[in-house]
Structure 1
């Protein structure tokens, strides 16, 4: 009887194994419902890679997984993504979305367009703190900053397509597969929990006490330059329509009811050494698309005169006239324009706007540098027209 009880117990235990191991046995309990199988193939390979640098547990490819973020960028079948899954980063209480694109250039192209559409819709800061990390054959999108910091220790790189996003010195900066985007190991953040920025900017108005991304403690993060008006015209060709162009002094001096230049009177008194006009000054129709190009021999003189003009315009109601051009400067060049679309293109080319509005400040993520005249700053942030 003792032996029979041992055999019966052994048989019962054996029936806890897969069903194929238990044939017959009327007293055996029915097997538990099988758990959903974890993804295999490229998704599993991506998980294995990520787990070398952080936590990536409970991988699932279910499209309705409740862990998927509400603002998830893409789904399988979009942006050339053939497989997509999500795993949990338990130590950081976050998640990591894993995507496997069949064409990485197509994925990056679609991501750039997504960013530009967001910016065009009014969210000028979208993508500054990107969490899209590109690897070899897969993309990881962690929801936590600390997770992104852990993952960039690998060969994963942050894909950034917002044209104002900085990559400070000391960090890797690589070309993306799409023009206008970069890959780096710099993890941006709005709360300071991301990668340390040794070029942490200082708000000029705060005497070095306030920190703003984009303003170095000394010098500049870089401004464009040109050796001549012809070179400047070529430089800004992608932003300024110079189909109709003139350097004739009488033509360049033209103003219209819709377009008011910054530089007036004798250009030499502004430190200007060369000057040209892009656009149609007048004719059968009203003047349109007027933008002025300047080469500058004395940038401090130009900025001093521009400050006085700007502050005189602000006296009435604290606002600049809509027809007034803004002065965007480089190292030894400048463009005067009242067209926000033109300025957007110039900001991408690292031109900065001379802003002399008292009390002005720029949100994190925008450039803010010292100008050559007290009481003004150089910036790519316009409250009425955030960089798109």
Structure 2
């Protein structure tokens, strides 16, 4: 299946007109494909004038494109010379994919660099982009084309490296071109037909850091007491037929809690309970932990440190995952339990470097930098 655990490469290889997406493995990333401008399937003349977005303008020169971008964000010091501000190794060269000219300008407000590419035939260009994304997907890069947005219009494309710059550009008539079949335009955002089948144009900006275009989701779960939390999650998600309110670090060889042995108060947890068979004559099993949280930032900070300590190591499959609400949390290593908790307003804390999720997933900002709250989990292979 396409979804598989991978880490993104450096964000400087922004997927623009030529598209080495940041998730690609540099060891596998090959040179851009040859220009398809001579393809017999390309529609001459009319396709060159076709709009990449029904409402977008059509600047004919780099200077006109720069002037258009400057309506929405800073774009200073336009240069067409050797790339001294952006590594263009991942971009198709001028002359490929109907790219006729390329310039780089600086977004001085966000300390970012913007790449503008003039395109003579946008349909040919979009087809080349789609072919590239399809190739990356076939190679196993499930998130190819989901991040580092490529803004497309009638006659040029724009790429920015920082999310804040991309969000500013999204307020224009420019539209993000997406050709990944796993992408779904979130409710409330524009969805327009691209010039090639299998691609869409949208004003939604997807970002790995969770700071892209906001997506509305259900309210996060909350409870006034440990008993309220028990009623909220049982029996819909957690089997709390047997529950013990305890600060003891109960564990088994099958279930390891998130909160450490140094006491729940050190993790910002006010009261703690465990549901399931606690063991005795038989081994403990079916354990899930319920937490009434007094300091959510502390809980997330401590959990982040524990997650980062596991990076590069063989992850212990018995380690529970932290599911949080507003002032409550549930720790579970059972995927079926977590699936039901998502429906009840819980989201999983994920602090994995370069975390990414399909656009249809919920991704919210956590209370600690470098983490997000999400309902997306990569399938185990």
- Alignment TM-score, normalising by the size of structure 2: 0.46
Higher RCO (CA < 8 A, seq sep 6+): 2
Largest Rg, 1 or 2: 1
